Amino acid sequence: MSNAWGRNILVLAFTAVCVIAVAQEKTQEKPLEAKGNSARNVKPDSRETVKGRLPRYFASLVNSEQRIEIYLIQAKFRNQISELKQQLEKLESKQMQDIEAVLTTDQREKLLDFRDSSRKKRNQKSTTGEGRGPTEAINDSPNQTSSVSNK
């Protein structure tokens, strides 16, 4: 048992040393070049205020100039992606309406019952404090009907 404690203390000490080393590390930021900014028609002020989120695994690879450039690219596509997501939601909704139109009246009623019981179970779990585990999939979409059988 003391071996486990020793290992835990060693890991904790190593982590603390790493955190301190990273905190003291100074980043060298290159001054923004006017030539590079004019080529992209971007003002220096806007380059420094651009915010975003780097794609996975990019943070340790890119420098501050590349980071800003990635943020600008993301900003350029943000509205178009948002519009496409809205269009996709509409198409998925239309698809589900067409799929439900194939069902008979009895099947539609059963489908509504399945959805209602699923919502009630979900609401009961949230009010009683029972939650899903972090690895379980969350399916809150009312259009998803994976629990419906074709019997």
- Tens of pLDDT, residue by residue over 26-47, are 554 444 444 444 445 445 455 5
pLDDT of 117 higher than 50: yes
Question: CA–CA separation, 32 vs 45, rounded Å?
Answer: 10
CB 14 within 8 A of CB 6: no
pLDDT digits (tens, 9 = 90+) for 79-92: 999 999 999 999 99
Domain boundaries, the chain: 32-125
Region 42-64 average pLDDT: 77
- Give the residue with greater pLDDT, 148 vs 97: 97
pLDDT reading at 145 higher than 90: no
Answer yes or no: are the C-beta atoms of 110 and 83 closer than 8 Å: no
Q: Which two tokens stand for residue 71?
A: 């943020």
Helix (H) or strand (E) run with residue 105 in it: helix 105-128
Nearest CA to 103 out of 46, 151, 55 is that of 151
Of the two residues 6 and 30, the one the predictor is more confident about is 6
Q: What is the mean pLDDT of residues 72-77?
A: 94
Other C-beta atoms lying within 10 Å of the C-beta of residue 96: 15
Contact 42, 72 (CB under 8 A): yes
Instruction: Enter the tokens of residue 128.
Output: 């009683």
pLDDT class for 143, splitting at 50, 70, 90?
low
